[in-house]
Amino acid sequence: MKNQDDAIAILKELGLTTVQAKTYIALVKTDVSAIKEIASLSKVPRTDLYRSIQELEKKGLVERVLSKPIRFRAIPVDECLNILYGRIIKNHVELKKKTLKLRMSLKNGKNHRSSELNSSEYVLVPESRAIEKIRKAIDVTEATLDVVSSWDRFSGAMFLLTMELKKAWGRGVKCRFAVESPKGVGDSSNGPEKYMKIPFLKIKFMASSPQTIVSIYDRREIIVIENPAASLRESPVLWSNNQSLVSMAADFFEILWITTMENPYFQTDPEPRHDKTPQPLKDHNAFPIM
């Protein structure tokens, strides 16, 4: 009994009804059977059985033998399962096409980015979606991306956001990163030198870790990391397109950019400097909004 129950359950998953599954299984157990025999074996009432056999015939799973009385035969099990499973795959492909059409239809019906840019919004994005929000912001950036970051967060972003950044550089997006000078890295493959060779990426360095991690996209929107000491995946982020806030962040970045150094390795000796290169700030104030 259990084996038959399992068979019925699987056939239902493949698209048959309970009555159709019972009818097919009864026919499989016999060679050729009349309605009376099928009803007795399947325990399906005759009124339901006639309809079930007609439906199975339409699906190509049952054959009618012209005799007196009319008898019926199930097609081989392998053929039946291939037909049912093939229809599921076909339906899945069709559903996927419809899903894509629906997605495009809904996107074309409402320009989400335009609506974001036309009104000020402040969105606190949880840490579970922070990376995805940053990816989307990079994907729609057209000209400039300015970022203030710690070294660890910068190197992590270069790994996690490689694809998005490469596409942005391919579009000609100019990126400026003001980052903390790396500690204990030295001239190695993990140091800043390999990033400093990228044409559309400009990096300058500050002596201390920034108290604010902020990204500015086309001077139209910003993302501020809520906890600057946390890793990329461990802190919520604040997204906003408020132009006063964006302008404040942009001004903060420009001032910081002037005071940062192109050389990633700072001298640590206390002797006075005799060159005319401006000293980096020893401590960078936090972004005013924080």
CATH class (in words) of the domain with range 2-80: mainly alpha
pLDDT (0 to 100) of residue 185:
55
Question: Which strands form 144-149's sheet, in the order they lie side by side?
Answer: 122-125, 237-240, 221-225, 214-217, 144-149, 174-180, 201-206
Structure confidence at residue 84 (pLDDT): 93
**272 near 236, Cβ under 8 Å?**
no
What pLDDT shows up at residue 215? 96
φ and ψ of 40, to 5 deg:
-65, -40
CA distance 63 to 42: 17
Least Cα distance to 253 among 197, 194, 210 occurs for 210
Cα atoms in the Cβ-side hemisphere of radius 13 Å centred on 81: 8
Task: Provide the residue-wise pLDDT of the chain in tens; the chain has 290 residues.
Answer: 468 889 999 999 999 999 999 999 999 998 888 988 999 998 999 889 999 999 999 999 999 888 888 899 999 999 999 999 999 999 999 999 899 888 888 877 655 555 555 678 899 999 888 899 999 999 999 999 999 998 888 888 888 898 999 999 999 999 999 998 887 655 555 677 778 788 889 999 988 888 889 999 999 999 999 888 887 778 899 999 999 999 999 999 999 999 999 887 755 444 444 555 545 444 444 433 33
Question: What pLDDT is stored for residue 285 in this prediction?
Answer: 44
pLDDT tens per residue, range 66-75: 888 889 999 9
Q: CA 37, CA 26: separation in Å to the nearest integer? A: 9
Cα separation, 278 vs 196, whole angstroms: 21
Q: Are 209 and 150 in contact (CB under 8 A)?
A: yes
Tell me, what's the pLDDT at 249?
95
Check if 2-80 and 119-259 are the same fold.
no
CA gap 87, 82 in Å, rounded: 8
Domain 119-259: CATH class, spelled out: alpha beta
b/e map 91-120, b = 16+ CB within 10 Å: eeeeeeeeeeeeeeeeeeeeeeeeebeeee
For the chain, the structural domain boundaries read 2-80, 119-259
pLDDT of residue 112: 52
* Amino acid in the structure at residue 46: R
